[in-house]
Amino acid sequence: MRVGFVLSEMGIGLRRNLSMAISVILVTMVSLFFFGAALLVQSQVQTMKGFWYDKVQVSVYLCGELDDSPRCIDGAVTQSQRDAILETLETGPLDPYVDRVFYESSQQAYERFIEQFEDSAITENVTPDVLPESFRVKLADPTKYQVIAEQLANTAGVERVQDDHRILDPLFAALDAATYVALVLAGLMLLCAVLLVSTTIRLTAFSRRREIGIMRLVGASRWIIQLPFVLEGVLATLLGAALASTALWVIVDRGLGQLSSGRELQVRLIDTTDVLQQLPYLFGLGIAVAVLASLISLHRWLRI
């Protein structure tokens, strides 16, 4: 009996304020779409970091005959200096930070360069002697690059130490910035959703103030009076969450799915499985917004 009454009252409220309910659905959809997009972008960033940070290396470039760096005033690196650098990397204080060390000669660097840029005209102007020999260092902890750089900063025969992370960090910084922008937009839109839900509840309660007065006179409990209004907001935000989830699903499935289809990508792109993992957050946040806005509106403004 009470369930039927509550659902009946909820239906009446939605019919009387259909345009406001649609507004709540649309605003909730947009806000949760941005929120879900931010979660997916952050998931992709973490996947890419885990993949690339495990593969990038620290390159210790050695002095060559043509180097004019202040660190190479004594000319090209000697065999004794080369051995000392290798010993420093493989033993002593750097040993806990280094996983593996690979030596690459100028000729090997040239061959790798030609392989990477075989279709470019730039290869015509490059010879082995202009490419420095180097040690490629794979770190046990990729975040400890600075330890290697500081230890080898004043080592004879070292021209410079370069961390490949510096190439990737601007990309990840841009993706992180996009995540924060999406979260800010989601926050603003969620605030709009809260205000819209509150306004809708207030208008509905005002239009039904006579029925509410009668219910209070006959001894209806506080929750019986409030529940239809709360459910109206919850239903609207759930529909918004469903639309946002559908939009994210379509974009990921049709967009990124087509991008990765038939291609051997080095890093995994987010897919519909990641969208499914975010659904509890989207629907949970939608319900929380509706319940919070409804209770605040009923308690503080209508004083039922």
Instruction: Specify the domain boundaries for CATH 3.30.70.3040 within the chain.
Output: 58-163
Residue 241: what pLDDT? 92
Q: Indicate the fold that domain 58-163 takes in CATH.
A: Alpha-Beta Plaits (3.30.70)
Instruction: Please tell me which residue, 44 or 118, carries the higher pLDDT value.
Output: 44
pTM: 0.66
Which of the 8 DSSP states describes residue 74? T
Task: State both tokens at 284.
Answer: 């949970």
Is it the case that residue 42 has pLDDT exceeding 70? yes
The mean pLDDT of 73-84, rounded to a whole number, is 86
Residues in Cβ contact with 72 at an 8 Å cutoff, skipping those fewer than 6 apart: 63, 64, 159
Residue 110: what pLDDT? 85
Task: State both tokens at 90.
Answer: 């493989």
Task: State both tokens at 49.
Answer: 């970091």
Residue 3: what pLDDT? 61
Task: State both tokens at 196.
Answer: 């819209």
Q: Distance between CA 31 and CA 26 in Å, rounded?
A: 9
The amino acid at residue 173 is: A
What percent of the chain has pLDDT above 70? 79
- Nearest to residue 202, comparing CAs of 78, 76, 123, 304? 304
pLDDT digits over 222-256, tens only? Answer: 666 677 777 777 888 899 999 999 999 999 888 77
